[in-house]
Amino acid sequence: MSETLKIAVQKSGRLYEGSMKLLKECGIEVSNGNNQLRVLSSNFPVEVFFLRDDDIPEYVQDAVADIGFVGENVVREKNKIVDSIEKLGFGKCRLSIAIPRNGQLQSISDLNGKKIATSYPVILTTFLNEKKIAASIHEISGSVEIAPRIGLADAICDLVSSGSTLFTNELKEIETILFSEAVLIGNKALSTEKRIILESLLFRIRSVKKAKNNKYVLLNAPNDKLDTICSLLPGMKSPTILPLAEPGWSSVHSVINESDFWDVIEQLKANGAQGILIIPIEKMII
């Protein structure tokens, strides 16, 4: 029997849906309808283990799983010997220090001699040592944001996405320690056959990511403005240009990066482009 690549995925929580969606977008069929903890894909040589996110780095280090989808924050906190292979583009958040909104504390330096509640003692300890701040750390596993209100700590260090949880608990951020997103980590001693499967998976993941970061654009352009419009739309190599039935006009097809989207569209319109259509890209192979 040929080998399969064992993937560790968070069994529940903020990264579960993003991980499963990514596998689906990569064309990998994985059914977890019965809440199984171990599932074999029906169309790709991978086996998915559903685990606690905090355990994934250790399982990958110990070769129980070959690779894992996990947050950068967990990788940093657990500090296991694994390869960080690829950022996955979802589950973005930040690890920040927050203090009571209307309290006496105002800055990082005010934390000297204070108590900070967190689920990330390793990362926080490193940060405090770098900043030469002598604060004590109270490690708790959940509901960190309530700690100042019940007198357990003076401040917290926790993950922040939208900031709504901090606002609800009358807290404000004063320092971001790190930015995090889901990453693919791997065991350092994968067999040759498993590395081949991993490369195939990475090819699919990168194609999906490129598609999400780009949009397909179709537009009508006056021929006397084609050079200028094409310079705004380099695409993967160069735009595709097709003559229209109406003399003096052409149809231009290309790809634009989403981060440049609005600036490019405004410049296209300013140069006479009409009938601009923007279409999502499902996969993008270069």
Q: How far apart are CA 216 and CA 258, in angstroms?
A: 10
286 residues of the chain, pLDDT tens digit each? 478 999 999 998 889 999 999 999 999 998 876 678 899 999 999 999 999 999 999 999 999 999 999 999 999 999 999 999 999 999 999 999 999 998 889 999 999 999 999 999 999 999 999 999 999 999 998 889 999 999 999 999 999 998 899 999 999 999 999 999 999 999 999 999 999 999 999 999 999 998 888 889 999 999 999 999 988 886 667 789 999 999 999 999 998 888 888 888 899 999 999 999 989 988 888 7
| CATH for the stretch 93-180 | 3.40.190.10
Considering the segment(s) 213-280 as one domain, its CATH architecture is 2-Layer Sandwich (3.30)
Q: Is the distance from CB of 73 to CB of 123 less than 8 angstroms? A: yes
Residue boundaries of the structural domains of the chain:
5-89+181-211, 93-180, 213-280
What pLDDT sits at residue 143? 87
Q: What is the pLDDT of residue 33?
A: 62
Question: What spatial distance separates the first Cα and last Cα of the chain, rounded to whole Å?
Answer: 33
Residue 156 near residue 124, CB atoms below 8 Å: no
- Residue 173 pairs with which residues in a beta bridge? 98
What is the spatial distance between Cα 215 and Cα 100, in angstroms, rounded to a whole number?
Answer: 42
Q: Which of 26, 57, 32 is nearest to 44 (CA)?
A: 26
- Distance of CA 259 to CAs 57, 59, 153, 214, 235, Å? 32, 36, 40, 8, 14
Q: What is the pLDDT of residue 1?
A: 46
Fold of 5-89+181-211: D-Maltodextrin-Binding Protein; domain 2 (3.40.190)
Q: Distance between CA 199 and CA 25 in Å, rounded?
A: 16
pLDDT of amino acid 35: 73
CA distance 3 to 239: 43
Rounded Cα distance between 98 and 85, Å, is: 31
The reply to whether 213-280 shares the fold of 93-180 is no
- Three-class secondary structure assignment of 30-68: CCCCCCCCEEECCCCCEEEEEECHHHHHHHHHCCCCCEE
Query: Which residues are 130's β-sheet partners?
Result: none
